């Protein structure tokens, strides 16, 4: 009987390694599943990141030394609220003449009149129907404006107007501009893809026409419509109270 119990004890002692050997494959299976799940999660997160197939070209916008924001009507402005003269530009980002003003005259005009506190400058969207990318560009500027970089996008769009204006797939270019300005791409992409600015921009176009604007760029100086060639003279006259 003693021998029988001894054998039984020994057999029971040998049972543990046999059970452990059965559990080891299960351990490795669970480990493998955990690793696969982890890899899958990483791949998912990487794929969720906004992508653009256009190379990002660095851009350094001009420094803005005055208050900026949006009017109650939703138009971007720069300059002091109590400036004696208000200038409104009715502009189209795809308009070549608007591009000429933005790249050749605006910096000097801003430094002379806006930075000095004499003018509050407002950009009023007037996307012309014949310009296929004008609405998308204006929407990109407004999306940047939601991140307080309207004027930086405004400058970039006009600086590279020739590149994007004739594009048949402009959105990737606009996304690369958002990256160049360091915008939150997820928020920027959502603002563009939602098309929430489309009806707002159409309303702005209709308002421009109702105001009597029939070309871009047109400027309104304290309520008087003028063109780019007479803008500075009109501002000087307004400052002198004429």
Global confidence as pTM? 0.78
**36 pLDDT exceeds 60?**
no
Kindly indicate the confidence band of residue 67, based on its pLDDT and cuts at 50, 70 and 90. Answer: very high
What's the whole-number mean pLDDT along residues 84-107? Answer: 98
Question: Are 61 and 181 a contacting pair, CB within 8 Å?
Answer: yes
Kindly indicate the confidence band of residue 44, based on its pLDDT and cuts at 50, 70 and 90. Answer: very low
- Classify strands 119-125 and 218-221 as parallel, antiparallel or unpaired: unpaired
Distance CA 59, CA 19 (A): 66
User: Looking at 37-51, 103-117, 171-185, which range is the least confident one?
Assistant: 37-51
DSSP 118: S
């Amino acid at each position: 009987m003693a021998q029988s119990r001894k054998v039984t004890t020994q057999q029971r002692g040998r049972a543990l390694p046999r059970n452990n050997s059965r559990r080891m494959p299960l351990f490795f299976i669970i480990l493998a599943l955990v690793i696969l799940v982890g890899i899958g999660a990483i791949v998912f997160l990487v794929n969720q990141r906004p992508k653009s197939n256009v190379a990002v070209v660095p851009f350094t916008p001009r420094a803005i030394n005055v208050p900026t924001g949006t009017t109650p009507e939703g138009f971007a402005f720069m300059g002091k609220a109590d400036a004696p003269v208000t200038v409104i530009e009715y502009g189209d980002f795809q308009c070549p003449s608007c591009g000429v003003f933005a790249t050749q005259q605006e910096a000097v005009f801003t430094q002379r009149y806006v930075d000095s506190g004499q003018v509050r400058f407002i950009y009023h969207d007037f996307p012309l129907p014949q310009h296929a990318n004008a609405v998308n560009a204006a929407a990109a500027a407004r999306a940047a404006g939601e991140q307080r970089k309207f004027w930086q996008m405004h400058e970039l769009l006009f600086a590279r107007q020739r590149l994007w204006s004739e594009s048949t797939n402009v959105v990737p270019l606009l996304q690369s501009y958002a990256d160049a300005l360091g915008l939150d791409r997820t928020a920027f992409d959502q603002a563009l893809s939602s098309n929430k600015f489309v009806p707002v921009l159409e309303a702005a176009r209709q308002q421009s026409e109702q105001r009597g604007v029939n070309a871009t760029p047109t400027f309104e100086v304290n309520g008087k419509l003028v063109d780019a060639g007479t803008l500075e003279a009109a501002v000087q006259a307004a400052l002198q109270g004429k």
